[in-house]
């Protein structure tokens, strides 16, 4: 499957008849397209407590995308990912744009959570935080509408079913996210609110999806819930003041299921980041999310690249009738951006999980080498 996917994209890229600038190519007279991707190589060492975790390495993501503009106002993207020895379609949709609006149809990620909408390429930590990993929606086939202009952002959509490689039963998703960007002095301030409704027909549990992937053991998780429905709310805030930034989200979830099951899940995270090299995180109101860190002085003759130090606290609370337990993580991170699409990440995470009166407190050391193109 991966060979066929790579061959198809390579053949499409071969259609170009003119040279390109910035990865933007031209095929015939009516199609402008670009080709790119990302490669993420991870390693993790686990200092066990009660649970036996397996240290190791993995290709976390090997992703290619092919995107283009068809005539005026129309565009498309196809994004294929290889991870965990399988190939999946992460994104495949067609969009029509006019003025400040975009209407899209196809397989895509529903709008929910600032951290989730920030691409894995540009996230500050090796993995996203506990509540985001536990509560995020899957990429699904749907129809969405987006408006962004004048420091305001709004996106909503309806989705049903998963992509073909996912064997879970079809479900319905409604999502809505709004944000505004305010400037106070020299600082940028993001304020956002996300809402997500998910209805499923199968049995499913909420899991911690702990902040590591080499061994993806879940320290806390709820019981299986039949015909699970949930309403999820996320409050978002972020600040960027030159080389310093902070970001936080609070999540509240109302869960219902067959047999009169009803309870509430909550979670939150907060982190701060600082560049001793004087660099900064980039933000775009077009997506109401963060983008690539571009070093002021790339590694080599002119400088050492960008260095980022970050500290994060995260929590997920599954206690109550769902019998899931509670977990808190503290993570410290150092990132190096040499330039040229390269990024190296070193993370230390301390876990404090408790379920049914049993505590587990391992520590995790993680490394990532990454290139985007």
Spelled out in words, what is the top-level CATH class assigned to the domain 38-61+93-372? Answer: mainly beta
Pairing of strands 187-199, 203-204: unpaired
Q: Which residue has the tokens 């686990």?
A: 46
Determine the pLDDT at residue 138: 84
- Looking at residue 86, its pLDDT comes to 83
Both tokens assigned to 111: 């709008």
What is the pLDDT, as a whole number, of residue 27?
57
Q: Which residues of 172-209 are buried (b: 16+ CB within 10 A; e: fewer)?
A: bbbbbbbbbbeeeeeebebebebbbbbebeeebebbbb
pLDDT for 29 equals 59
What residue ranges of the chain have pLDDT lower than 50?
1-2, 4-22, 163-165
Q: Hey, where are the domains in the chain?
A: 38-61+93-372
**DSSP, res 320:** S
Question: Measuring CA to CA, which residue among 276, 259, 247, 284 is closest to residue 336?
Answer: 276
Rounded distance between C-alpha atoms, residue 76 and residue 280, angstroms = 31
Determine the Cα–Cα distance for residues 325 and 314; give it in Å rounded to an integer. Answer: 15
In whole angstroms, what is the distance from residue 115 CA to residue 345 CA?
17
Q: Which residue is listed with tokens 């397209």?
A: 33
Q: What is the pLDDT of residue 25?
A: 56
Residue 201 has a pLDDT of 77
pLDDT of residue 14: 45
Pairing outcome for strands 261-274 and 244-257: antiparallel
Whole-structure pTM value: 0.90
> Please, are residues 93 and 169 in contact by the beta-carbon 8 Å criterion?
no
Which pLDDT belongs to residue 271?
98
């Amino acid at each position: 499957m991966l060979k066929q996917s790579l061959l198809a994209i390579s053949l499409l890229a071969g259609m170009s008849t003119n040279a390109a600038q910035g990865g933007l190519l031209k095929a015939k007279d009516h199609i402008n397209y670009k080709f790119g991707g990302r490669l993420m190589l991870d390693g993790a060492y686990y200092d066990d407590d009660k649970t036996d975790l397996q240290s190791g390495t993995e290709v976390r993501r090997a992703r290619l995308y092919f995107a283009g503009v068809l005539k005026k106002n129309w565009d498309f993207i196809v994004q294929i990912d290889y991870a965990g020895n399988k190939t999946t379609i992460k994104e495949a949709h067609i969009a029509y744009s006019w003025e400040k609006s975009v209407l899209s149809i196809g397989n895509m990620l529903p709008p929910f959570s600032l951290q989730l909408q920030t691409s894995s390429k540009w996230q500050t930590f090796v993995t996203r935080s506990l509540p985001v990993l536990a509560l995020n929606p899957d990429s699904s086939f749907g129809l969405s509408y987006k408006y962004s202009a004048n420091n305001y952002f709004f996106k909503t959509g309806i989705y049903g079913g998963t992509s073909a490689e996912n064997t879970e039963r079809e479900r319905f998703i409604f999502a809505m996210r709004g944000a505004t960007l305010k400037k106070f002095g020299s600082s940028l301030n993001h304020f956002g609110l996300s809402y997500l409704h998910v209805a499923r027909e199968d049995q499913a549990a909420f899991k911690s999806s702990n902040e590591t992937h080499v061994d993806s053991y879940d320290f806390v998780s709820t019981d299986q819930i039949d015909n699970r429905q949930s309403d999820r709310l996320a409050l978002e805030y972020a600040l960027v003041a030159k080389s310093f930034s902070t970001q936080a989200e609070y999540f509240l979830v109302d869960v219902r299921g067959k047999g009169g099951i009803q309870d509430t899940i909550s979670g939150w995270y907060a982190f701060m980041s600082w560049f001793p090299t004087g660099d900064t995180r980039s933000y775009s109101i077009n997506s109401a999310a963060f983008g690539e860190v571009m070093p002021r002085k790339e590694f080599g003759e002119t400088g050492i690249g960008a260095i980022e130090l970050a500290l994060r606290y995260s929590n997920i609370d599954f206690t109550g009738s769902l019998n899931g337990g509670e977990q808190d993580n503290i993570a410290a991170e150092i990132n190096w951006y040499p330039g040229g699409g390269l990024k190296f990440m070193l993370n230390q995470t301390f876990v404090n999980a408790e379920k049914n009166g049993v505590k587990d407190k391992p520590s995790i050391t993680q490394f990532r080498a990454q290139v985007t193109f």
